[in-house]
Structure 1
Amino acid sequence: MYGMLDIEWCQSRGEGDGMWYGARVILLAALGLLARPSAAELDKKFNITIGYLPSITGERRDRQGLAISGALSMALEDVNNSTKLLPDVKLLLKWNDTRCDTVTAIRMLTDMTCSGVVAFFGPEGRCHTEAIVAMSRNLPMISYKCSDYQTSMLSNFARLEPPDTQATKSVIALLRYYRWNKFSIVYEESWVTVALTLENHAKKNNLTVNHQRPVIDGFKCCEEKMTCCAPGFWYQFIQETKNRTRIYVFLGSTAGLIDMMTAMESLQLFAKGEYMVIFVDMMTYAPKESLKYLIKTEDRGTTLVCPKTNWEMPFKKRAQSLLVVVSSEPEGSYEVFTGRVRDYNSMKPFEFPVPPALLEKSFNKFVSIYAAYLYDSVKLYATALHKLIEEETTYKNETLDYKKLMSIASNGTLIVSKMIHITPFKSVAGMSIRLDERADSEGNFSVLAFKNYTIEDIKCNASMVAVGHFQQSGKEFPEYKLNPHVPIDWPDGVKPEAEPSCGFLNEKCPKDDSQITSLVLD
């Protein structure tokens, strides 16, 4: 709760009498000095306010605020209209555009804190500094889109978007399932934390990392005129590693993946079906975009048809030598959910204008999976708060009052701990969400492989399709489950092995040194 120093600080901000009045009410409530409610008021709900910190404007290309904010309105409406979830509480909303700027986000956060906001949702992108500020008041901060790994160490912070490092658990599960106990890690610079996490998991599970090699993103290479922009860069890179590995795990962009596999193909590594590449994609699987792992955007064209390429050998073998670990496709009636999000975006309190081009029935503004993460974060917070109120009242046979409600709703450590313990949680996207001991979503991942398979709206008879998924079981690593109806088509019909039968240096096969020299004596 707020102390006198907090009140004096908020007052010194000079934000107006309204903010000081709100802080004063909170302090009086904490001290039990407010008048007790009348009998009529007992039938009313307690109002508490949550804060939302989206990126509506700003320089980030992947800002989500304009497309997904309606999901928060939906979640609030569903919670407030529920007779089973928080029946005595009504959630109100304060929100502000952070403009993708940390300084702006902190100003918004502190202003909302002084006005009595009990929990925060967001901000997008970088959020470690903001989470530290919220931690200084032990206020819960629940992220639907944050990439800062350091925040996982904070007890008041939870995230519904699985961090990139969570995918490494699925990669290890995949490697163990196929007995690929030796492999190489190739990663672009921005994936260094993921690469180190994967290497640590491998060592703990007695898997051997043959190589761990960083590469620079191709766009940066050419923009800064570096040697890695040369056409022969990947050729030389593969030449240096191919004799001591058979399984590559690539962490980076799809463009980098295609460049690497093109170099491998030029060295005839896929001809005998001996090599395998595993790629990690944190974006949600979209069947219509599944060719992006095989052919660059500029070569696919703008229409959803098969690219002009030879689907037979050797391209087919190359495609069959790739497995993709990807965030699973939403299940059930997710399209209905995204349609509602679009509608709520244009309603109060956001009232975002719809571009004229999108008013035509044939156009729909894309709504990403972050809308589901946002909706789920509010529902999960409300569920945790409901459980804590039950424990404080029903089990202890006490009556809920405003002071008690505020102390629970604004206790970040308590709320986040309860969120961890009440998962797995059914997502609006149809999947099960589980938070690990750091309150990071473990995510839901699938495995894609190349199949002769027709995808709706794409005039193509082959693509990357889901052949298995990872089932979270509460253990350190998920369990890999194959789809019995969609078997993997291995190159040459045989699963590649992690190393040659005689070893990379022929060390597992006995040498023929048993020559016997015989002397024939007359």
Structure 2
Amino acid sequence: MWPTSVEALRFYHTFAFSPGRQRLIGIFIVFLIATFFVTSDADADAVPAPGPSPDPSLGAGANPFLLESLVKRLPKKGDKREILISYLAAVPTLMGEIDQYLLNLSASNSAQNNSKDRESFSKKLNQIVHCLTTDAYVSVVSGALVAAIVEINQDKTIIPDYQLKYVFGNTCGNDSHSTRLFMEHWQAGARVFIGPEKNCKTEAAMAASQNLPIISYRCNDQDISRDDYHYRTFARTVPPAGEIFKAFMALMKHNDWRKFSVVYDVKKGQSKNELFDTLLRMMETENKFEEHKFQIMNVSRLEFTKMDISSQQDIQSVENAIKATMKTTRIYLTFDNVRLFRTMLSIMGEMGLTDDGYMLIYVDTNYDWLNVYHAMNNHFLRNTMTYLHHSWDANNSSDRKMLDYARNALSIIPTPVKLNSQRFYNFWKRAGEYMHHFGVQKTDNLKFQGNRIACYLYDAVYLYARAIHELVDEYGNDDAYDPTADGKAIIDRIVNKKYKSGFGCLY
């Protein structure tokens, strides 16, 4: 069973497509999905939060070559005890001294006749390219961390005897680098870890071994549970992506559909897909209580040569999967690859299956949709790689045909949150003041589209601070007790608690 610690009511939208507009069907599946955990250890020293201008003691540099010297600068501030927050994320920038990168590359490339030097040069160059091509959204949302820290430090009603500081480590989307940064931040005195935003299983196990709290605002790992001793100090302010399959199972039960086939893709060289494994576990659990069991009739695991599934070889592999299974199934399920969904729907339509009672269900774990129309018009039905005059505006375009095919398609997405409240507007404006510390040029952040992930990051800092505050109130001035080192107690004061999010919503 999935953990449901701080239990927040969320909705997943299931919607059908109709020509020219979207039509919501009457299935809003409500269930408990968010999880939260936390813990801590070691004496707290900290790096100052960003001020109006960069400071060498920030410890916010993303340059892995400079990190060690930065994180060891741990100034005290008055009589306040300082808690160092480690923030691990992947941002597409090379903050710090760019000259240092060039010198390292030049040194690696100085002796072209040496194969080891050429290999080192190539490796470092690839690392930089990979770092610069990570998701840009993290740079935009990262200001929310600093906004929360500044607010808490200025608020005399929350841990007034403590000062929060942070040190930033740019993982560049590299798991090994993330692990090294975790260890360096821990050695520097970090008390709590925020992130990383992609894979977090290794960091969660390391944090638990030191009785330290780690709170993720966007972790993809499906099987991390507080019930597992190895991850007992882990929390997340957003549920794992696989939770959306609860909505899929509810949809199937509601319509008394029990049999379906699955088509999904895996990355080149990989054989596993965590979302598919989650679906299997969820089906196994459901079947324990169902007289009429759910049954997967066929499974097609595809590996594409191009991400956009544009090559004839890739398209043919999808068509072959459908032709090989169409006699034994009427319902197809695919997930987390909108291009695969579009390709399947187009092929099914051209084969006449959408006119013959076949159904395609698509599950999307993306949390960035503004509304159902935004999801349908910009991704699900329209090919965003082409101009509008080649898409909706062209009478015989493939996108126009998709509208008709989509009569037999359903999609399940996380319910979009309207980021238009005054509370969110004010929060987004404050967070924008610190974006430039994470590689985004300082500008009017309201030009950037509001991002709900920023709220999950903001909430993570506040949940931790409030848990510490409760422990301080409970134990008073007991010098023998350090609340930041009592992980179990911190967890107990976070789970099953209501709080007001950066969205303005009550969870």
The TM-score normalised by the length of structure 2 is 0.65
The structural deviation recorded for 1:72 is 0.7
1:61 to 116, 134, 156: 134
Gaps of 5+ in 2: 1-39, 44-67, 94-130
For 1:309 and 1:402, the matched residues in 2 are separated by 75
2:433 to 343, 363, 370: 343
Which residue pairs with 1:121 in the alignment?
194
**1:80 is the counterpart of 2:156:** no
2:413 to 314, 326, 337: 326
1:162 to 239, 262, 277: 239
Instruction: Determine if contact 2:394/2:400 at 8 Å carries over to the other structure.
Output: no
**What letter matches 2:244 in structure 1?**
A
- Per-residue deviation, residues 399-434 of structure 1 (Å, max 9, x unmatched): 235652xx3323444433432232x5432124455x
- Tell me which structure has the larger Cα radius of gyration: 1
The structural deviation recorded for 1:265 is 0.8
2:496 to 421, 424, 428: 421
The structural deviation recorded for 1:80 is 2.6
SS of 1:416's equivalent in the other structure is helix
**What letter matches 2:427 in structure 1?**
F
**1:179 is the counterpart of 2:253:** no
Which residue pairs with 1:93 in the alignment?
166
SS of 2:417's equivalent in the other structure is coil
Instruction: Determine if contact 1:279/1:324 at 8 Å carries over to the other structure.
Output: yes
SS of 1:421's equivalent in the other structure is coil
For 1:249 and 1:212, the matched residues in 2 are separated by 10
The structural deviation recorded for 1:101 is 3.4
For 1:134 and 1:64, the matched residues in 2 are separated by 26
SS of 2:211's equivalent in the other structure is coil
Which residue pairs with 2:280 in the alignment?
199
The structural deviation recorded for 1:257 is 0.6
Which residue pairs with 2:301 in the alignment?
215
**1:246 is the counterpart of 2:330:** yes
SS of 2:332's equivalent in the other structure is strand
SS of 2:326's equivalent in the other structure is helix
For 1:108 and 1:236, the matched residues in 2 are separated by 45
SS of 1:149's equivalent in the other structure is coil
- Per-residue deviation, residues 31-62 of structure 1 (Å, max 9, x unmatched): xxxxxxxxxx9xx6543222212323325521
**1:294 is the counterpart of 2:369:** no
Instruction: Determine if contact 1:330/1:431 at 8 Å carries over to the other structure.
Output: no
The structural deviation recorded for 1:141 is 0.9
**What letter matches 1:418 in structure 2?**
R
Which residue pairs with 2:455 in the alignment?
372
Aligned length: 384
2:483 to 378, 399, 408: 408
The structural deviation recorded for 1:139 is 0.7
**1:306 is the counterpart of 2:389:** no
The structural deviation recorded for 1:198 is 1.8
**What letter matches 2:151 in structure 1?**
D
Which residue pairs with 2:51 in the alignment?
none
Between 1 and 2, higher relative CO (CA 8 Å, sep ≥ 6) is seen in 2
SS of 2:262's equivalent in the other structure is strand
The structural deviation recorded for 1:135 is 2.3
Instruction: Determine if contact 1:251/1:280 at 8 Å carries over to the other structure.
Output: yes
For 2:86 and 2:416, the matched residues in 1 are separated by 29
SS of 1:270's equivalent in the other structure is helix
**What letter matches 1:131 in structure 2?**
A
Instruction: Determine if contact 1:54/1:64 at 8 Å carries over to the other structure.
Output: no
The structural deviation recorded for 1:102 is 3.7
SS of 2:344's equivalent in the other structure is helix
Distance change in 2, residues 1:231/1:121 (3 Å): closer
**1:256 is the counterpart of 2:337:** no
The structural deviation recorded for 1:353 is 5.3
The structural deviation recorded for 1:302 is 6.0
The structural deviation recorded for 1:324 is 1.5
The structural deviation recorded for 1:367 is 5.1
- Per-residue deviation, residues 101-153 of structure 1 (Å, max 9, x unmatched): 34443343333323332101112323333333322211111112322335444
For 1:307 and 1:76, the matched residues in 2 are separated by 48
For 1:212 and 1:430, the matched residues in 2 are separated by 44
Instruction: Determine if contact 1:234/1:259 at 8 Å carries over to the other structure.
Output: yes
For 1:237 and 1:401, the matched residues in 2 are separated by 66
2:321 to 228, 237, 255: 237
The TM-score normalised by the length of structure 1 is 0.63
For 1:20 and 1:59, the matched residues in 2 are separated by 27
RMSD: 3.8
The structural deviation recorded for 1:260 is 0.7
Distance change in 2, residues 1:244/1:157 (3 Å): same
Instruction: Determine if contact 2:341/2:362 at 8 Å carries over to the other structure.
Output: yes
**1:142 is the counterpart of 2:215:** yes
For 1:222 and 1:283, the matched residues in 2 are separated by 17
SS of 2:190's equivalent in the other structure is coil
Gaps of 5+ in 1: 5-14, 26-40, 394-398, 434-522
